[in-house]
Structure 1
Amino acid sequence: MHADANGTGSPPEAADDFAGVPDAFQRLWTPHRMVYIDDEDRTGERSGCPFCRAPGLDDATGLIVARGVHAYVLLNLYPYNSGHLLVCPYRHVASYDEATAEEAAEIASLTQSAMRVLRETSRCDGFNIGMNQGAVAGAGIAGHLHQHIVPRWAQDANFFPIVARTKAVPRLLGEVRDELAAAWPTAE
């Protein structure tokens, strides 16, 4: 289903309805993702970068779970699953190869800690971990390096929001942040 001009749902369009050479694919429109395409934060400008702003906020307001020396961990404001975390360097760099050795090492260490904490608190069965490098690769905020850590369960809804325009996130972000921060190891 996708939203038409009136905001109502309509079925996916058949490939045969498009100009050009028909193929076997159905098209699934996801207009809710336009917030990432149209958002000024995608330009990489520091003034609009939420990953540059977050460390200046208190942890609860910034959804920050843990702070390191070179990088920090926060909850994704638009999670795929409950507990979807991001690991970001404090420094505004766009690409993994621009990170210093210290930043890369701390991103790795924080990612390992995040996995342990998520297993302990949410009893997840696995993870999707990755970085989308550049807008063309799907980075919602291409100007500031960030790694996704998405907890997964055997029976989760995966990308249900794309299909039914509904997010099944069972807990409030603040509640999840508080739980993860309390379970975070004190020494990295």
Structure 2
Amino acid sequence: MEEPESRVEQAGAGVPDNFRRLWTPHRMAYIKGENKPTGSDAGDGCPFCVIPGMSDEDGLIVARGSVVYAVLNLYPYNSGHLMVCPYRHVADYAALDERETVELASFTQQALTALRKVSGAQGFNVGMNLGMVAGAGIAAHLHQHVVPRWGGDTNFMPVVGQTRVLPELLRETRALLAEAWPSSE
């Protein structure tokens, strides 16, 4: 008599199962809030304050300006999803100074140009979630999302499978966008 399969084998949990399940264990860090700031001050573990001190490759920085920078989102909605962040730790858009406001707008335009060139994006979602109640994952440091969109990019995977399929590794996307980033001169 054959021994019964283990519960793990029966469920196909973590073993190859002909694509009946798509496992995304790397997302657990996001779900658990790992590396999320512990407070509202710059020294409280804010990733947007730490990232500029990293190399472009390690920080996934696409471009650096004098008062803002563009960085890929670690948990993207679509391939190429990036954010434009001021270097200064500031939560409210109304608190940006004129230089920050102008460069944030300019970097957003440059992001659109680079994403169209690299990925042929047909549209974009551009915006900010200001405050936790508005959906900001990191409310203490303002960041503007630039999400490229294509016709039919919302398919059954995010709707039914509750996961996203990204065709390219973040480091590869960063390199392509950095190369295509328009000069601000």
TM over 0.5: yes
In structure 1, the residue corresponding to 2:117 is in which secondary structure? helix
Distance 1:100 1:167 in 2: 36
CA RMSD, 1 decimal: 2.3
Q: Under a length normalisation based on structure 2, what TM-score does the superposition of the two structures give?
A: 0.79
- Residue 92 of structure 2 is matched in structure 1 by 95
Distance 2:91 2:144 in 1: 11
Q: State the shift of 1:167 in Å.
A: 1.7
CA contact (8 A) 1:43 1:142 kept: no
Find the partner of 1:116 among 108, 113, 117. 113
- Residue 70 of structure 1 is matched in structure 2 by 67
Give per-residue Cα distances to partners, 1:8-57, cap 9 Å, x unaligned: 8xxxxxxxxxxxxxxxxxxxxxx966435x76426323231000000000
Give per-residue Cα distances to partners, 1:31-84, cap 9 Å, x unaligned: 966435x76426323231000000000000000000000100000000000000
Distance 2:89 2:157 in 1: 32
Q: State the shift of 1:140 in Å.
A: 0.3
Quick check: 1:54 aligned with 2:41? no
Unaligned runs of 5+ in 2: 1-10, 12-26
Unaligned runs of 5+ in 1: 1-7, 9-30
Find the partner of 2:41 among 45, 61, 66. 45
The one-letter code of the counterpart of 2:65 is G
The 1:64/1:118 distance shift into structure 2, 3 A limit, reads: same
Distance 2:32 2:132 in 1: 13
Quick check: 1:168 aligned with 2:165? yes
In structure 2, the residue corresponding to 1:178 is in which secondary structure? helix
Identity fraction in percent: 54
Of structures 1 and 2, the larger Rg is shown by 2
- Residue 19 of structure 1 is matched in structure 2 by none
The one-letter code of the counterpart of 2:177 is L
CA contact (8 A) 1:64 1:73 kept: yes
Distance 1:135 1:111 in 2: 23
- Which runs of 4 or more aligned residues in structure 1 lie more than 4 Å from their structure 2 counterparts after TM superposition? none
Provide the aligned length of Structure 1 versus Structure 2: 159
Distance 1:159 1:140 in 2: 25
The 1:159/1:81 distance shift into structure 2, 3 A limit, reads: farther
Q: State the shift of 1:130 in Å.
A: 0.4
The one-letter code of the counterpart of 2:139 is A
Q: Under a length normalisation based on structure 1, what TM-score does the superposition of the two structures give?
A: 0.77
Q: State the shift of 1:164 in Å.
A: 1.2
